[in-house]
Amino acid sequence: MLPIDINDPAIIEAHKVHVEQVFARLNAKVFGGKGGNKMSDPTKEITDLFKHNKGQLVKDLIGAKPDQLMDHVAAFWRWLDKDFTHEKYADYLQLKKALAASEKDAQASDGEQKKKKKEPVVLSEPDKNLVKAYNDWNKIIAQLFDYERWFQNGNNSPRYDSYTLAVNLGRPTCTYCNRIYTGTMKTAAGKKVMRPTFDHWFPQFKYPLLALSFYNLIPSCSVCNSSVKGFAELKLKEHEHPYMGKDLIGKYRFSYDYQGGINRYKIKMLTQPGEELLKATLAVQKLDLIYDVHQTELSDLILLAESNSPYYINSIVELFPNSGLSYNEAYRLAFSTEAYSKDFYKRPLSKFKYDILKELLRVSHDAENSPKIK
């Protein structure tokens, strides 16, 4: 996983635009006006919430940093239910899940039902009221924070949407795996063709209020977002968040073992001692398993190392003394990847190749200064 620098000027500007544009859209849905269709019944509670302090609570939901979001979620819900707690909402989700499972059992054939021997779920009156109240509120929230229809913008309308956010973020490779290009692309006629998917770090099924939150939308490839992560639930106390892990790159590295056979090598990921959050995050992302498909790239790097000295990059620079070729440019030409950790996100496999090359050729760089050979 590659961190996203929260203090990068481009990210700061993308954040500013996102909060402004999304709030304008939500405000138009509640009160009407330019930017979206007004909801038929936003309710008095929602209307009052948007009026209070010029909608600051809503802006906080859209723009607050990851470690502040749960407080803003609770504050929003308390406008709708003064007795809200995260524990109460967790109870609601459990009841909803139990009801869904019970309904599925009821629809099963007689033979399947007898095998399972499960009694249908019968809720107490307070539990019924809890489920109904939160179901009703979540229907309104889904209309308001409309990620699927509005933000995804399937009809390609010329307005702020997930494509615009992707352009503003400028992240051409997947944040999680750094293997796949996730750039944006339009046709000559302006039709949007390609963009990254956005992973909801805090899952939508549990936190619908965070469906459009800037720091909850992580640009990623479809493999990492859907196939690998799926419905896995991440927590700040247990996992690393891309916007909060500034020094992540130096806390883990790729390596390999020789094992023979068809797949001659086993690619592995090593973390520094004590980095339990990072280790848990990498386990969820299954990066060691995913990277094992890159046997060819690893073999090429090993062959290159066996054929050249540790001073390979220096020799390329010295070979063309009048070209003005920098170490960084020579590195990029030689390995089709980036030399500096701050630029790893610009090209696929940059972190992987850097770590393997460092192990094989002792290629290393200062964090801030010119690259050097150790």
Q: Which tens digit of pLDDT belongs to each residue from 304-348? A: 777 766 677 777 777 777 777 787 788 887 788 888 899 999 999
Non-local (6+) Cβ contacts of 130 within 8 A are 88, 91, 92, 95
Residue 365's CB is within 10 A of a number of other CB atoms, namely 19
Residue type, 239: H
Residue 65 clears pLDDT 90, i.e. is over it: yes
Q: Which two tokens stand for residue 51?
A: 């009026």
Residues with Cβ within 8 Å of 179's Cβ and at least 6 positions away in sequence, in order, are 173, 221, 290, 291, 294, 348, 349, 352
* Three-state DSSP class for residue 227: helix
pLDDT band at residue 275 under the 50/70/90 scheme: very high
> CA–CA separation, 11 vs 5, rounded Å?
7
Q: How far apart are CA 120 and CA 101, in angstroms?
A: 9
Give 317's contacts (C-beta < 8 A, 6+ positions apart): 325, 326, 327, 330
Name which residue leads in pLDDT, 217 or 327: 217
Could you tell me which residues are beta bridge partners of residue 255? 268
CA quadruple 253, 257, 262, 263: dihedral, nearest 10 = -10
Instruction: Give kind and range of the element (H or E) at residue 79.
Output: helix 69-80
Mean pLDDT of 236-265: 87
Contact 113, 104 (CB under 8 A): no
Cβ neighbours for 202, distance < 8 A, ≥ 6 positions apart: 69, 210, 213, 216, 234
Please report which confidence band the pLDDT of residue 269 belongs to, taking 50, 70 and 90 as the band edges: very high
